[in-house]
Structure 1
Amino acid sequence: MLTWPDEGIFSQGTLETWSQPESNLVLDFHGDPLNADLVVFSDGNHHMALEPSLQAFKELHPQVGEIFYATTPPGPILNLLQNGRLRIGNFILSVAPHVFLSPPHVLDKLVSQGHMADHRPFVRNRGSVLLVGKGNPKKILGAGDLAREDVRLFLSNPVTETVSYRGYVDTLKALGTRAGSDMAFLETRVSTAKIYFGQSVHHREAPESVVSGIVDAAMVYYHLALRYMRIFPEDFDLIPLGGTVNVPDPEPGNVVGFTHAGLIGDGGPWGRRCLDFLFSSPVADIYAQHGLDAMFSA
């Protein structure tokens, strides 16, 4: 089991940590929701860049106090916003966001429901890659190799993570077919001998599935694979689907995804300043360091 590094913007010294990894470890809710002056809800795949960005905002504005942010797939945080409560096991979380980051079609829903006035393009990813175990034991070279009988693939859940699932499958079909492989195995939406679907949070489940040996490869965004290789260097390698490990250049058919950002309501006392900071050169630099590209002119 992977030991994930701490993530969060904590301002009150050393905090006691209590968890039981198999049942009571919550990784994608960060900080103190009760005392937060700024609450940010975000799609989870770029959590590694959002954390230092919010930390930089807090250093610029120390008077902001506590920052609480969530980095789940869109579904749970949409439910939390719309219903005001989210059940996590036997724990109930009730907190309202000031800033919301997500794919544009998700934020379009929030605009239509009156939660948000508008949203702006924030960042785009650099396509997808294949995450494999260190040394690439199955010698997987590209999407076409996934059709081999001896290779099992991880994909995000087609029901709970529809954006990543659709992008991953469309990419694999395009690239695998071009390589001359039969990609019909991708038509299923239930786990089989060829495909293992995650349950709800693929940016945590994908590397766990590879390192545990459940699968031989996982389809993930480039910036996710880059993150895993940096924090777990002895466990993972990535197979580019266009370009190289250090300079990705998604080949035609490798779907590129987008994240937009906007305020919920008036953004409260800190939301507007936080949103403006996210659209700044320092944040663009942070995201670039983590394998994502800003979509704005800072």
Structure 2
Amino acid sequence: MIRSAYRVALSVAFLVVGIAAGALAEVPVITGSPQIVTPALLDWPRDTEKQTPDLTEPTANRLEDLHGELVNCSSMDLVLSTAGNYHMALRDLMRKVVLPEASDEIANWYYSTSPPISPDQIANKHLGFGNLNVGCVPQIAVGPKNLMNTLDSLAFTEGERIPIIRNRGNVILVKKGNPKHIKSIWDLGRPNVRVVTSNPYTEKGSFGNYSGSINNIAANDPNPPGSRTAEKLFHSIFNSDKPYAKWVSGKRIHHREVPWAVAYDHADAGLLFYHLALYAKRSFPDLFDIVPLGGTVDSPEPLPGNTRGTLFAVRIKGEVSNHGEWTQRQLEATERLIEAYQTPGFEEILDRHGIDVP
């Protein structure tokens, strides 16, 4: 009995060894190459040159595989929470002016460029990007007037708000070559023109700007085409009963989403601040063109009703910071950025990107 069991075990062992040996057979040479499958995304310019290693991967959320909590906020020299539409100018200000002049004083820093989130960011001491949570209260917040009023009402601010930029109105972003022949605000009402805007719920400020400008440009037109009215135009876009999507939007960050929707055939025309459309056109010259709403592409002169917005910067109280007061390094970094916002150098940067000082 024991010998029989031994023989069975030995046979099984030889079989396992045989299978293992077979698994190590020579793998055939691969002569083909895979087709890379990723979502169709715009590859926006990065703030700095790519270095190794770099895990940026557009197949899913770009920060799914960066995990962590940054909560030692006393070691963070500068945190800024800002409306994101002037991100290209802020990048140049930080990388070419502020950081080179203060490399020893501002070593650890970050800022977010999104719809204004600073009230919640301050109250909750939290900002999430994928699996990365950063928990530091910003020293400076930037946004439109209504955001400043909200921050004031919450007693988060210190000192006066400072106007830092004024946009040059809105334009229409279209595909290269303008295949739908869009020439004016009235063309957005045509049945074959799909319009993309910022999200009316998560970006109420910019959406109010864009939708209001559509209505008011039309209402101020002394020679509207045919029997068209501003009200009819507005309803044809935002209250359409068409069986297809006449009006589309992204979820949250329209300065990325509107160009994407136009580039990948989810929309034919997108309302954007002039400087955002200019940045998209410069970044992807083979994908986009701009239809001005007053003036020319190179020299916009906003039509009556074409809203121009102003952004303000304000200091945040140290009492609401993570540790109850700002460190000396943080105070110095705050003042460096506040001062930089008000320099002729920033005015030159703004002008290069199609933005004015207030």
Q: State if a TM-score over 0.5 links the two structures.
A: yes
The reply on whether 1:256 has 2:305 as its aligned counterpart is no
* Match 2:267 to one of 215, 233, 236: 215
The structural deviation recorded for 1:61 is 1.3
The structural deviation recorded for 1:190 is 11
* Match 2:199 to one of 144, 154, 157: 157
Identical counterparts, % of pairs: 32
Show structure 2 runs of 5+ residues with no match: 1-40, 64-68, 319-325
Which region of structure 1 is more displaced relative to structure 2, 57-66 or 248-257?
Answer: 57-66
* Match 1:20 to one of 29, 47, 57: 57
The structural deviation recorded for 1:189 is 10
Task: Return the letter of the residue paired with 2:275.
Answer: H
The structural deviation recorded for 1:88 is 3.3
Q: Secondary structure at the match of 1:160?
A: coil
The structural deviation recorded for 1:99 is 1.3
Write the deviation string for residues 28-86 of structure 1: whole angstroms up to 9, x where unpaired. Answer: xxxx96664111111011101001111211111111213311101013x4322221113
Aligned length: 286
In structure 2, the residue matched to 1:145 is 187
Write the deviation string for residues 149-188 of structure 1: whole angstroms up to 9, x where unpaired. Answer: 1100001111110111011011111223433433112444
Q: Secondary structure at the match of 1:45?
A: coil
In structure 2, the residue matched to 1:116 is 157
Task: Return the letter of the residue paired with 2:123.
Answer: Q
**Structure-2 separation of matches of 1:135 and 1:187:** 26
1:152-231 equivalences in 2 (<5 Å): 152-177=194-219, 178=221, 179-180=224-225, 181=228, 182-183=232-233, 184-188=235-239, 193-231=245-283
In structure 1, the residue matched to 2:336 is 273
Q: Secondary structure at the match of 1:130?
A: strand
Q: Secondary structure at the match of 1:173?
A: helix
In structure 2, the residue matched to 1:41 is 81
Q: Secondary structure at the match of 2:77?
A: strand
TM-score, with normalisation over the residues of structure 2? 0.75
Write the deviation string for residues 105-139 of structure 1: whole angstroms up to 9, x where unpaired. Answer: 10121122121123111111000000000000100
Task: Return the letter of the residue paired with 2:286.
Answer: E
In structure 1, the residue matched to 2:120 is 79
Which region of structure 1 is more displaced relative to structure 2, 136-145 or 263-272?
Answer: 263-272
Q: Is the 8 A contact 1:144 1:175 kept in 2?
A: no
Q: Is the 8 A contact 2:350 2:356 kept in 1?
A: yes
In structure 2, the residue matched to 1:29 is none
**Structure-2 separation of matches of 1:190 and 1:232:** 34
**Structure-2 separation of matches of 1:160 and 1:86:** 16
Q: Secondary structure at the match of 1:277?
A: helix
The structural deviation recorded for 1:91 is 3.4
**Structure-1 separation of matches of 2:163 and 2:294:** 24
Task: Return the letter of the residue paired with 1:158.
Answer: P
In structure 1, the residue matched to 2:345 is 282
Task: Return the letter of the residue paired with 1:85.
Answer: H
Task: Return the letter of the residue paired with 2:270.
Answer: A
In structure 2, the residue matched to 1:242 is 294
The reply on whether 1:88 has 2:139 as its aligned counterpart is no
**Structure-2 separation of matches of 1:194 and 1:80:** 34
Q: Is the 8 A contact 1:169 1:186 kept in 2?
A: no
